[in-house]
Chain A
Amino acid sequence: MKIVGVTACTVGIAHTYMAREKLISAAENLGMEAHVETQGSAGMENQLTEQHIKDADIVIIAADVAITGEDRFHGKAVVKVPTNTAIQTPESLLRTIQKKLQVAN
């Protein structure tokens, strides 16, 4: 499964980056490919490329606030969760998505 994600939290200094790390390491553990963009107080970092988005099977938006550039994901399968879900249960999140996508296909 190929994943793109965007993380953003209220203040944008801690949860945003923790969520990114957790998502990426969980994806690695499960043999998935993940590109995750952070929208913290430092602005957009690790920005997703069009190619990443085009290739992705799923878009994970792990955010407690409104993110910028959501229109990029038009037509893609999108999951929205709070940052805490990505931080505390990253592997469960990815597995749940995988299961749901399989059912849908």
Chain B
Amino acid sequence: MYRDIFKIDNLKRHFLSGLSYMIPLIIMSGFCTAIARIIGGTDIKGSFSYYLLAAGNDGFTIMIAVLAAGIGYSIAGKSAIAPGLLGGYLSTVVNASFLGGIIVGITSGMLVLWCNSWKLPKSVKSMVPLVIIPLLGGILETVLVMYVIGPPLAALTGAAVKFFMGMNHASRFVLGFLLGSMTGFDMGGPVNKISFAIVTAFASSGVWGPAAGKNVAAMAPPLGIAFSVLLFSPHKYTQADRENAKAAIIMSMCQVTEGALPFAFEDPVRVVPAVVLGSGIADGLILSWGVTVPLLSGGIFTIPVASNPFLYLAALLIGACITGVTLSLIKPKIKESSKEEEVHDDLDIDINID
């Protein structure tokens, strides 16, 4: 029962579920802080922007709690939400941050699975979700976070932040290139989300350089492809590509990396390397230039709140141009027979009945 949780595919699904609950919260909190800063006067107590900034920061405080609750929910359903939320919040309080949140999410899910597996008479069974799980959950998460995982993870988080802050320009570029190329690699898929998780871990410790890098790395792929289709080598693309490219520009503005997907599906061998290169370089430039943005998402709306809007925009355009030029260079002349799915009937799937 528990071994299933730790199978790579399942673990990934639980983690992505948690992430999918957390992402809207991050975006909302990001917008609150950004709008507050744009309005100005955040230090005047009682003003709208003061409250809005505080609300945004509170949103960031509870994001790990939502992540943990989401992971727990994915593993064991509704009952795991309460212990997950509490454990995740505690984890934030003691600075065990992201990793702590993942661990408490998994443990809250396991606790619920364990309690639900007890052989009990029906009359007592209804007490499990309302009495037993909350009772054990509260105690388990408190002990776990405060005594077991809290102290070492807090030290680890602190060390990672200190290491990043002490990095020189060259090694920051390398880190940025790695994070950026992961962001671009599958254009919104699981690898992208791993990089997102690392960036969020930095952000929850108050380090916002990787966030800035991630934003440009996520915006560059659709924009770069659009450059290639509409500007650099229009004759190498079909009419449908040109329509997709226009949509991709809008998607890029809104930081929806998925805008690049129609092109990637059609021609992954050329599109993916071009995108990885462009996103990696854009992200690397951001980190080595030291640009920060207090937002994990938001597209062009993040530009006004960047520590240096000019360099921020420059990195985006450089990254997009690199993707666009690379793609235009390696794209072959157009062939009308577009690639079709090779249909066969022996995919590796399992049909289950329960």
Residues of A at under 8 Å CB distance from B? 10-15, 18, 41, 58, 63-66, 74-81, 84-85, 87-93, 95-101, 104
Contacts and interface: CB of A to CB of B under 8 A. Distances in A.
A10 B23 CA distance: 9
A96 B346 contact: yes
9 contacts: A10-B188, A14-B256, A65-B20, A74-B354, A77-B353, A92-B342, A93-B347, A93-B349, A96-B349
Contact of A11 (B20, B74, B345): B20
A96 B345 contact: yes
A85 B344 CA distance: 13
A80 B351 CA distance: 8
B13 A89 contact: no
Given A77-B353, A96-B346, 10 more contacts: A10-B189, A11-B20, A14-B258, A64-B16, A66-B73, A78-B354, A79-B352, A80-B352, A85-B347, A100-B349
A12 B256 CA distance: 11
Nearest to A18: B261
B19 interface: yes
A101 B261 CA distance: 32
Contacts of A65: 13, 16-17, 20, 74
Top 5 closest pairs, chain A to chain B, by CB: A14-B258, A95-B345, A66-B74, A65-B17, A96-B347
Nearest to B14: A66
Contacts of B336: none
Contact of A89 (B16, B23, B341, B354): B341
Interface string B329-354: 00000000000011111110111111
Contacts of A10: 16, 19-20, 23, 188-190, 193
A64 B190 CA distance: 9
Contacts of A91: 341, 343
A75 B345 contact: no
Interface in B60-93: 73-74
A3 B261 CA distance: 26
A56 B188 CA distance: 32
A12 B136 CA distance: 34
A13 B344 contact: no
Contacts of B347: 85, 89, 92-93, 96
B20 A97 contact: no
Given A11-B23, A41-B24, A88-B341, A100 B261 contact: no
A90 B74 CA distance: 26
Interface string B254-272: 0010100100010000000
